[in-house]
Amino acid sequence: MYQHVLVPLDGSATAEAAMPHAEALARQGGARLTLLRVLPPPDSYVIPEAVFVDREQVMRSLEAEALGYLRAVRERLEGGGLTVRTTTRVGDAATAILDTARAVGADLIVMATHGRSGLGRWALGSVADRVVRAAGVPVLLVRPSEPPPG
């Protein structure tokens, strides 16, 4: 079984569809979970030039919000007896997921996917597709409509 499962979350219902699957795997095998929230880099935000914005303050605020979200999910999981840690990264989502998986020694990545195919996937790219192709560990992709195991 797996020992360490990485679960990327962005706060959306789509991303959280992966949680029941990750929880079930962690319970079955006694794996620990690492919850990851990837924040876009500050230069990716489109802000009108007429508006003065302290980008560092914006990033601190976004990170505080992300940490609060992850803490709430972690506390719920720990209340159910699971071992959980949380982390945030700034940057490209696929790269951050892959880097985090290596850094924490994850032997499985469980993440949700929108399930795009064909032209939509080609035109928009896919974080999940990039992770699957480059991960050195298995990746379980969950569509939001899939019921959890068990």
Residue 23 binned pLDDT confidence (cut-offs 50, 70, 90)? very high
Mean pLDDT of 57-82: 94
Q: How far apart are CA 79 and CA 83, in angstroms?
A: 10
Supply the mean pLDDT for the chain: 87
- pLDDT value of position 50: 53
- φ, ψ for residue 131 (rounded to 5)? -65, -45
Across residues 72-90, what is the average pLDDT? 97
Q: What is the pTM of this model?
A: 0.87
Question: Where are any strands of DSSP class E within the chain?
Answer: 4-8, 32-39, 84-90, 108-112, 139-142
| CATH superfamily membership of 4-142 | HUPs (3.40.50.620)
pLDDT band at 144 (very low <50, low <70, confident <90, very high): confident
With pLDDT > 70 as the criterion, what percentage of the chain qualifies? Answer: 82
**Encoded amino acid at 98, one letter:** L
pLDDT value at residue 124: 43
| Per-residue pLDDT at 133 | 92
Sequence ranges of the domains in the chain: 4-142
